[in-house]
Amino acid sequence: MEKSIVILAIESSCDDTSAAVICDGILLSNVTASQKVHEEFGGVVPELASRAHQLNIVPVVDTALKRAGVTKDALSAIAFTRGPGLLGSLLVGTSFAKGLALSLQIPLIDVNHLQGHIMAHFVQPEGEALKHPTFPFLCLLVSGGNSQIVKVEGYNKMTIIGQTIDDAAGEAFDKCAKVLGLPYPGGPWIDKLAKSGNKDAFHFAEPNIAGYNYSFSGLKTSFLYTIRDLMKVHGVETVEELTEQIPNLKEDLCASLQYTIINVLMKKLRKAAKDLNINQVAVAGGVSANSGLREAFIDYGKRYKSEVYIPPFSFTTDNAAMICQAGYYKFLDSDFCPIDAVPFAKTKIN
């Protein structure tokens, strides 16, 4: 009988410490420790993130192995997120992965975090029937740091055909949420408030950028100016005073903002799919948790008779299952990395 391929993956690119185990392509465990320490600062504090990773990494890996029911001696290789991300955070996962691989004398596999997000569509949890895309497909990759349209032609063959020239979609959500005094990260708060708001209440500037690229900085400014003008008209000094005066204002602003961001994202995706004649589209990254965006994908599928792929919630934000899946394919290709590989903060997808 052939020996099973058992991969342990470690993800530590930002503020989630995560470990996952895949055996012969089936996900056995996926454990994530999130960091609450950043909430009071309104954003991720890199130094605090690396310290929290140091505290979390051993218990997270230990729990992932136990939940999977495997011992470290059964591991075939260790996959880890090499970048892009916060360097101090990446260093914790990278160093841990190297140490473990060296001590067990097994190969090390480096995974690009963005490719990992796309590979979330191929994760196969034990006992669950999930639909996976076939090649080629277009993936809208939207997170706190990226907004891209990626043409995916193979597990390891991906080309960015469009991307943001300034802010990412998640950044636009988070920055506008901050203006409204919502906690960090603001995306999920906007999503929640938007549900009881009117999407047509406000009209924000939509960017006019060539090709398949995005831009969200103008939209952010338009949002800010709308609030500033309202404050002037109502003679108030703060957003709190304004929202007290105008019923349902926060909800309406959130609904209109979310509608505009989704509209911008979907228009370019449609243009790319039409031009390239690709009838499978997927969404990935933290913003793919957004309920409006998920609905927009379902509508897209019906309207354009396209196959659409929306990841389960657990694989939208940073997680090691997606890194493990990418690592599994690299293992099958014997695509290993040297022990002196260093993490990187910024990169292209391939």
Interface residues with ligand KG4 (CB under 6 A) are 14, 143-145, 170, 173-174, 185-188, 191, 285-287, 289-290, 317-318
With beta carbons less than 8 A apart as the criterion, state whether 144 and 177 touch.
no
Q: How far apart are CA 84 and CA 90, in angstroms?
A: 8
In the bound state with ligand KG4, the residue whose beta carbon lies nearer, of 9 and 287, is: 287
Query: Residue 240 contacts by C-beta under 8 Å, 6 or more apart in sequence?
Result: 181
With beta carbons less than 8 A apart as the criterion, state whether 142 and 168 touch.
yes
In the bound state with ligand KG4, the residue whose beta carbon lies nearer, of 107 and 343, is: 343
Q: How far apart are CA 169 and CA 185, in angstroms?
A: 13
Q: For residue 28, what are its two tokens?
A: 């056995």
- DSSP collapsed to 3 states, 249-266: HHHHHHHHHHHHHHHHHH
Q: For residue 136, what are its two tokens?
A: 């080629």
Q: How far is the CB of 191 from ligand KG4 (least distance, A)?
A: 4
In the bound state with ligand KG4, the residue whose beta carbon lies nearer, of 143 and 213, is: 143
Q: How far is the CB of 209 from ligand KG4 (least distance, A)?
A: 20
Q: How far is the CB of 203 from ligand KG4 (least distance, A)?
A: 20
With beta carbons less than 8 A apart as the criterion, state whether 300 and 308 touch.
yes
Q: Which residue's C-beta sits nearest to ligand KG4?
A: 286
Q: How far is the CB of 143 from ligand KG4 (least distance, A)?
A: 3
Tokens 């190297």 belong to residue:
98
If we measure between CA atoms, which residue out of 264, 173, 255 comes closest to residue 220? 173
Q: For residue 261, what are its two tokens?
A: 């961001």
In the bound state with ligand KG4, the residue whose beta carbon lies nearer, of 100 and 119, is: 119
Q: How far is the CB of 10 from ligand KG4 (least distance, A)?
A: 15
Q: How far is the CB of 129 from ligand KG4 (least distance, A)?
A: 25
Q: How far is the CB of 167 from ligand KG4 (least distance, A)?
A: 10
With beta carbons less than 8 A apart as the criterion, state whether 120 and 321 touch.
yes
Q: How far apart are CA 33 and CA 237, in angstroms?
A: 39
Query: Rounded to the nearest 10 degrees, how much is the dihedral formed by the CA atoms of 241, 186, 295, 150?
Result: 140
In the bound state with ligand KG4, the residue whose beta carbon lies nearer, of 144 and 343, is: 144
In the bound state with ligand KG4, the residue whose beta carbon lies nearer, of 204 and 331, is: 204
In the bound state with ligand KG4, the residue whose beta carbon lies nearer, of 185 and 207, is: 185
With beta carbons less than 8 A apart as the criterion, state whether 133 and 280 touch.
yes
In the bound state with ligand KG4, the residue whose beta carbon lies nearer, of 315 and 331, is: 315
Q: How far is the CB of 151 from ligand KG4 (least distance, A)?
A: 20
**Kind of pairing, strands 157-163 and 6-11?**
unpaired
Q: How far is the CB of 4 from ligand KG4 (least distance, A)?
A: 30
In the bound state with ligand KG4, the residue whose beta carbon lies nearer, of 107 and 286, is: 286
If we measure between CA atoms, which residue out of 120, 74, 47 comes closest to residue 285? 120
CB neighbourhood size of 166 (10 A): 17
